[in-house]
Amino acid sequence: MEDAEHVKEIRVRHRQQELDTELQGDPLGDFIGYQLRMAQILAFRAFEGRLTKYGRAPRYLGLLATIRAEPGLSQNTLAQAVALGRSSLVNILDQLEGDGLLVRKAAPNDRRRNGVWLTEKGQDIVTALLREAKAEDDRMTKHLSEEQISQLYAYLTQIIKNLKD
């Protein structure tokens, strides 16, 4: 049994070395957009993979945190805030409402429009996920100085602003 596990470990290590070699010749490596996307994919995979006990909530932390920061936002305003199409947002809200994380109800100042609020369960999960997100940020930036982190944040903020213009 130990021999089989050892052989499997060697195969996995060998395949990883092959993948590492293949990636060294990455033809899109000089494109900032591609690098941003790769960083996002890897960060998301690591974050979501560690937090399976929260179901689909980690995937929608940005949305849930926005609802927490601005309870009662209309669905249209919320869609704009998180750069989603309205129909995509409605499907996501349906799922999160089904999970008991949020509620939609008539806004107190305009009963013709629905606002979105977190439930107590949603509040608790967002609090826990924000703590986990901070730990993941620390892991991603562990070899960067405070100045580099500040610069990176400024650069990313500017890129996001450029893309919204």
Q: Tokens 């998301």 sit at which residue?
A: 44
Residue 4 confidence (pLDDT): 62
DSSP label at residue 142: T
Instruction: Give strand ranges (E) for 19-156.
Output: 73-74, 102-107, 110-118
| Residue 106 DSSP code | E
Q: Which domains does the chain have, with CATH numbers?
A: 29-164 (1.10.10.10)
Estimate the share of the chain in helix, then strand, then coil, as percent rounded to the nearest 5: 70, 10, 20
Average pLDDT per run of 10 along the chain, which is 165 residues long? 60 60 68 90 88 87 94 91 90 95 86 89 95 92 95 94 88
